[in-house]
A and B are shown apart, each in its own frame.
Chain A
Amino acid sequence: AQSVTQPDIHITVSEGASLELRCNYSYGATPYLFWYVQSPGQGLQLLLKYFSGDTLVQGIKGFEAEFKRSQSSFNLRKPSVHWSDAAEYFCAVGRRTSGTYKYIFGTGTRLKVLA
């Protein structure tokens, strides 16, 4: 079955440390890939997206992600985490099915930042 896996439910990092959030997808073709962030009590906000081309994509708030076809991965990274980055992060796949597109979201990774 087609799916999106975020293996880390919780991650804790110290402020200023680097961050990598993992995302793996199971899909026959290269799907459209997204990372969203959800702050407490808020809706989801798009951080970045990948459709084709350069496999390293830059997003907002200093985030980047790298698409690796051989590993079916789309990991999110940030070189130096800020306390305001504490939130829940969702990886999502946009895939075509029955003539339309659907989004499948991973279960999310909750990031805690230590001062």
Chain B
Amino acid sequence: DSGVTQTPKHLITATGQRVTLRCSPRSGDLSVYWYQQSLDQGLQFLIQYYNGEERAKGNILERFSAQQFPDLHSELNLSSLELGDSALYFCASSVGTLGNNEQFFGPGTRLTVL
């Protein structure tokens, strides 16, 4: 158990809908990262927050947004969903923002768009 929790574990929805994925980091970790894992794209970094502020952006679509709240939990919002958004979405957390900070991964949310 990494100490990172993600809810829900599974999510099935229809095209055009909007969903919210939730992540609670390990106790004491200030950084939260979101990743998308799909069969054709592999593991792609989406976005990072540190202590409530956005720190880095990766391959995140404009239809996707995220935020980190004062209690440090984070939410990833996916809107106008398309079939291609079906994937595993991982949240990870780390103490800080340095490249040598170990990231601890949650179990993931499997999103299926029908």
Q: State whether these chains interact.
A: yes
| B100 CB contact (under 8 Å) in A42, A51, A98, A102 | A51
A41 closest partner in B (C-beta): B107
Interface residues in chain B, defined as those with a beta carbon under 8 Å from any beta carbon in chain A: 2, 4, 33, 42-45, 48, 55-56, 58, 90, 92, 97-108
How many residues of A are counted as interface, with CB atoms below 8 angstroms from the partner's CB atoms?
Answer: 27
B45 x A46 contact (CB < 8 A):
no
| B97 CB contact (under 8 Å) in A41, A95, A97, A101 | A101
In the docked arrangement, what's the CA distance between A108 and B38, Å?
Answer: 12
A106 closest partner in B (C-beta): B42
Given A102-B56, A103-B33, A105-B43, A43–B108 Cβ distance below 8 Å? Answer: yes
Given A43-B90, A43-B106, A44-B90, A90–B43 Cβ distance below 8 Å? Answer: yes
